[in-house]
Amino acid sequence: MLFKLTGSRCSGKTTLARSVADRLQQVAVHDFDEIGVPERADRQWRHRMTEHWVRRALAYRSRGIDLLLTGQSPLGEVLATPSAPLLDGIAVCLIDVADEDRRDRLAGRWDAGAVNAFLGWAAWHRGHAQDPRHRPDVVTNDCWPDMVWHRWTGWTAEDPRWCTHLLDTTGQPPPR
């Protein structure tokens, strides 16, 4: 099983994963970026690395272990990876935070242009989590050619296969 914590930067994905890692049995916890992020990482790189992590989940499964993965790849990208159908299951949770809290968390670490890009990515994540028809072009344009988008692009928000849970970390201190 692949458990995916997704969302834009500074929503609390890694903090949450680290806070529960020692309480989970038979679950490996990893951050998407721990494999290293090239200076000019693009959408195709993210797609290829999402496939890499799906394959890691499959390798863990062969040992009876699930994978909890943090990162920015949304449900649609995970479903479109070539190896996704081989998984026993995929559960996705969007970790989100109000824009003002996100700005505060990003303050001093990123310039205004980057902060605005992260806010836009967060807004897109919210729409994508609710409805697969929300601007699929954001992830499907200029994509890695091996992605299999038709697995979900015909779905509607009412389709039971389209399920992203939401956890809002607005105003929440880091968990202990």
Crossing angle between the packed helical segments 99-106 and 112-130, to the nearest 10 degrees? 140
Task: State residue 174's pLDDT score.
Answer: 66
Task: State residue 21's pLDDT score.
Answer: 87
Task: State residue 175's pLDDT score.
Answer: 64
Task: State residue 61's pLDDT score.
Answer: 97
Q: Whose structure tokens read 């988008």?
A: 149
Task: State residue 22's pLDDT score.
Answer: 87
DSSP assignment string, 38-69: -TT--HHHHHHHHHHHHHHHHHHHTTT-EEEE
What is the per-residue pLDDT across 19-70, written as a single tens digit (0 to 9) for each? Answer: 888 888 999 999 999 999 999 999 999 999 999 999 999 999 999 999 999 9
Classify residue 133 by burial, with Cβ atoms within 10 Å: 0-12, 13-18, 19+.
Answer: middle
Run means of pLDDT, 10 residues per run, the chain, 176 residues: 95 91 92 94 96 98 97 97 98 96 89 93 97 97 97 96 95 73
pTM above 0.85, yes or no: yes
Domains, the chain, ordered by start? 2-168 (3.40.50.300)
